[in-house]
Amino acid sequence: MQVIENLKKIKYNAVMGVAFAFMVLLPDYLYQAFLPNIHYLTDVLFIFVITVFGFFMSMTNLYVYILICVLFMGMQLIQLGHIAYFSRPINPLDIGKVFDEFSDVYNASISDLDDFWFVPFAAICPFLAMIIMRIMWRKRLYVSYIGLIAVVIFLGVKPERATRRGLHHFLPPETRYSMHNSINSFSFYLVRGFDHKSLEDIVPPDFYKSYTVEKLPESSDLVVLVMGESTSAAKMHLLNPEANPTTPQLDALAQNDDFIAATAVSAGVATHASLPLFFNMVKEPGNIRKLTSYTTNLFKLAKENGYTTYFYSAYDMKQTNLIGVPYIDNMATYESNRRKFGALKEDYLFDLFKQIDLKKGKHFVVLNFRSTHSPYEKCYEHHPEFNVFKPQDDSRYAEENAAYDNAVLYIDAVLAQIIRHIKSQKIPNAQFVFTSDHGEMLGIPDGKYGHNKLAAEVYAVPFILVGSPQLKNIDFKYISHNEISKIIARFLGYSVNNPNFTDDEFFVHGNNLFKDYEFIRLKRGENRTLKEYPLQTVSRYVEKKLKKGR
């Protein structure tokens, strides 16, 4: 009889689980109703996980339930308050400042309460409702130690992960639900946040000069940027004649007068560093204030000049951190349609691109590729016709390089489709740009693979420009990501000037932009050759500059 009675009660626990998930997501949508400066993409997996968590949470003691609700409420209040004030989610290192400067944060919050009164309302009311519901249903629910064990396991997963993974895994994408970001950020801060010094504490506020932006009289009607993933310039036959014939379609298109191709230098050696630097046009090491201000963000500039903006990504939403989400009109990431992205890869990106009416209005379209990221053989498995290059033996080197070359062969076909589709629209002054967030090591020269390493094999990426024949005679050898961003800004109708450095000096940044990181300084010499200076950290760089009086 007791078993039957417990089964009858569990249905109320299930309802509590669904209600908890609803209330966890509700603050985001209440917030958006008052201040729609952030986008949330549907994440079915997180909704399922938080529903299961709510189910087990309802099995715990009433006081435990209230404690967890208060914990979530506090995280949500801090998170939404930070979004309201700074227009971006809070990261693990920002949390430390909330507690270190609590008096200043409190006074600023009180003074701005007239503008952001809905923040405490959106953060507190849903969890108060769940506490009231739990109290009212206390006799209907099945309560067991199983619930407490499950809750402890759920709450311990992220802190445990923080003990063995770096900061960049816990940075908050602006398209992810605020509670998901809060769980990540607070977990990292709880475990390791005390050990990290923020770059804002290392780099003085006036260390770098401000950029200037000039509005130009003309702009292009269509600007399409394809941002590759782990695409190495050395593995594209278009840029390296000694490589396998991996780019037959781009090789053919290169014969056109408006086609330009060169090897470029990426801004970073990891996606979560390279993309924010690229889209915000930040060159110098440690300029985190510039990075988070969005003053020269490409999406922002496009919006201000009348463009409809798009970011379609075959990757997950983690790649959207600090790229300029508030200024993107249309977004899709892997989470938007796991089935189609999983099955079709970049083909689905092309399908989304073809759905845009390019002839009506001005458009800035960014397509973020996923192919050429390991495991490489998965990138083209839906197209067996691209399984052309075979490993010469069963060594890792042979297998990885053959699979990678096949993946490049696949994106060659997709890029050619995109270029031909743009040309078929016959839009005057349409521009197409292709580059990659970083390159890839494939066992040459020292047997290392992957990226996240400050090395030439990682920072050498492709650059393709189609649509500006007047630039054909310019020597683009070793063009930097920052210069590519400037070219795109000009297409969008702006000239952006950085007074801190000349174009012949640029940097390749390490993994974690929010803490003291290593970087490479590069300088172009005669015949546009590159001189690479020794690795150094931001703190050491700032210290030396300050001693020399900058």
3-state SS track over 504-520:
CEEEEECCCCCECCEEE
Contact residues for 47 (Cβ-Cβ < 8 A; gap 6+):
21, 25
Residues in the chain predicted with pLDDT less than 70, given as ranges, are 1-6, 35-38, 97-116, 194-197, 445, 550
Element (H, E) at 495: strand 494-497
The angle, 0 to 180 degrees and rounded to 10, between the axes of the packed helices 62-86 and 92-100 is 100
Rounded to 10 degrees, the C-alpha dihedral 328/330/334/337 comes to: 160
Q: Are the beta carbons of 464 and 411 closer than 8 angstroms?
A: no
Look at residues 326, 405, 270 and name the one whose alpha carbon lies nearest to residue 87.
326
- Side chain identity, residue 230: S
Query: What does the pLDDT read at residue 106?
Result: 56
Which residues does 394 contact at the CB level (< 8 Å), separation at least 6? none
* Residue 483: C-alpha distances to residues 460, 495, 506, 511 (Å): 14, 11, 9, 21
pLDDT given at position 197: 67
Question: Distance between CA atoms of 165 and 548, rounded to whole angstroms?
Answer: 37
Alpha helices, DSSP H only, in 101-144? 102-111, 118-136
Per-position b or e across 515-550, b if 16+ CB within 10 A of its CB: bbbbbbbbebeeeeebeeeeeebbbebbeeeeeeee
- For residue 528, give the 3-state DSSP assignment: helix
Q: Please, which residues have CB within 8 angstroms of residue 253's CB and are 6 or more apart in sequence?
A: 259, 416, 419, 466
Check if the beta carbon of residue 178 is closer than 8 Å to that of residue 76: yes
Indicate left, alpha or beta for 347 from its phi (over 0: left) and psi (-120 to 50: alpha). Answer: alpha
pTM for the full predicted model: 0.84
> CB-based contacts of 183: which residues, under 8 Å, 6+ apart?
75, 158
DSSP H helical ranges for 395-537: 396-424, 456-459, 481-491
Bridge pairing between strands 530-532 and 518-524: antiparallel
Collapsing DSSP to helix, strand or coil, 463 comes out as: strand
**SS3 assignment, position 428:** coil
Tokens representing 26? 């509700």
Domain 219-547 top-level CATH class? alpha beta
Cβ-Cβ contacts under 8 Å for 208 (sequence gap 6 or more) = 284, 287, 290, 500
Instruction: Output the CA angle 257-260-264, nearest 5 degrees.
Output: 175
The pLDDT, as a whole number, for residue 423 is: 96
CA-to-CA distance for 300 and 22, rounded, in angstroms?
32
Cα 122 to Cα 136: distance, rounded to the nearest angstrom: 22
Residue intervals of the chain classified under CATH 3.40.720.10 are 219-547
For residue 69, give both structure tokens: 């609700």
| 2: amino acid identity, one letter | Q
Task: Report pLDDT digits (tens) over 252-304.
Answer: 999 999 999 999 999 999 998 999 999 999 999 999 889 889 999 999 999 99
- From the list 424, 249, 256, 272, the residue with the least C-alpha distance to 353 is 424
Q: Helices in 137-198 by DSSP H: which ranges?
A: 145-162, 178-191
Q: Annotate 231-273 with DSSP letters as a single string.
A: --GGG-TTT-TTS-S--HHHHHHTTSTTEEEEEEE-SBSSHHH
Q: How far apart are the C-alpha atoms of 233 and 240, rounded to whole Å?
A: 7
Joined tokens for residue 94: 């920002």
* pLDDT confidence of residue 370: 93
The phi-psi region of residue 518 (left if phi > 0; otherwise alpha if psi is between -120 and 50; otherwise beta) is beta
429: left (phi over 0), alpha (psi -120 to 50) or beta: left
